[in-house]
Amino acid sequence: MSSLNLDDFTDLIERPDAAVRRAAEARRGRQIVPPGSLGRLDELGEWLAAAQGAVPVRAIEQPRVVLFAADHGVAELGVSARPAGGASALVREILDGGRPVSVLARRLGVPVRVVDMALDCDPDTLPEDVVRHRVRRGSGRIDIEDALTAEEAAAAFAAGVAVADEEADSGTDLVVLGDVSVGGTTVAGVLVAALCGTDASVVTGRGGLAIDDLAWMRKCAAIRDALRRARPVLGDQLALLGAVGGADFAAMTGFLLQSAVRKLPVVLDGVVAASCALVAQRVAFRAPDWWLAAHDSGEPGQAKALDRMALEPLLDHSVRVGEGTGGLLALPLIQSAAALAAELPEQPEEKPTEPAEPTEPTEPAGGDATATDGAA
């Protein structure tokens, strides 16, 4: 895209190939295991075939975890069990291999990419490839001020588009999309409530570390106050992301839309990714056809967003830790679906039965004796 015009995505994004999906369904009907007996694995295999434009479906050989990282000013209100500005410590733990996503990624052989969009730390403390897309240090407190300026929102969105292009160009064939943030679930709750027209209490969850009742009430109040600031800009998705989102949310929205343009399937992890997907759906209604929901994290905002996009989670293990962990847990299931769709043999074709050779008529037993009696 030569300039940032979100309306362009409506024309640029196509649906996965329906004819290929029908061909995949027909092939599934010829395989030795009856259709439907593998449950959602059948559906996943057919979805992958349509996304790849290939029958049989190709194996997923170069998946990648992409995590957008930021600190949110609203965390200063005590809405999270983690301290405000603490996301950079989580990023260092991921890079050092000590977080759940790091362990699973090693086990599955999947590289993890962290993209710093607005961490509240000195950029010199992190590797250059992590910080090179950073837009700002931290974000505004969305209950009383904008998270980003208009210029920062546009820059973060463009950074997400660029990261999607980098992944597609490098041969990545499936992305697990997640976040590393403190205060991110509060921001996600604001976006989901604003776009679904619900009250703050409906979307307010307890976050990854299960905050207590007092923190939940503070979180609910923060979402309520931010909602008042969100409603005037609901018709402009970039302005919405600037007002009550953040640099990571703007980048993830751009990433999701450009991935759909590039026909790169994305697995959504958790409420933050789901809220960005909901914003992206407002931009281009065909975009959700390129996404899968990895799991149900137990966050009410995630359930609301996925229901609005008609995406059904693959897993329900109550994994709340975020950081792409639930998405990685779903990856072997998706890879298994691809393998079954591609490698199960088809039933042998039955050869048509050849007609029997005509036979000479035979005389009934005792034919001569009958003839003699008749002559007499």
How large is the average pLDDT for residues 205-227? 89
Neighbour count for residue 72 (Cβ, 10 Å):
31
The pLDDT of residue 193 is: 97
Task: Quick: pLDDT tens for 247-284.
Answer: 999 999 999 999 999 999 999 999 999 999 999 999 99
With tokens 């809405």, the residue in question is 79
Q: Which of 145, 323, 343, 363 is catalytic?
A: 323
Active site residue 312: no
**Cα–Cα distance, 299 to 203 (Å, whole number):** 8
Confidence band, pLDDT 50/70/90 cuts, at residue 208:
low
Whether the full predicted model's pTM is greater than 0.75, yes or no, is yes
Task: Quick: pLDDT tens for 312-344.
Answer: 999 998 888 889 999 999 999 999 999 999 999
Domains and CATH numbers, the chain: 61-332 (3.40.50.10210)
323 conformational bin, left if phi > 0, alpha if psi -120 to 50, beta if neither: left
Residues 6+ apart with CB under 8 A from 276: 191, 249, 252, 253, 256
The β-bridge relationship of strands 112-118 and 174-182 is unpaired
Task: Quick: pLDDT tens for 81-105.
Answer: 889 999 999 999 999 999 999 999 9
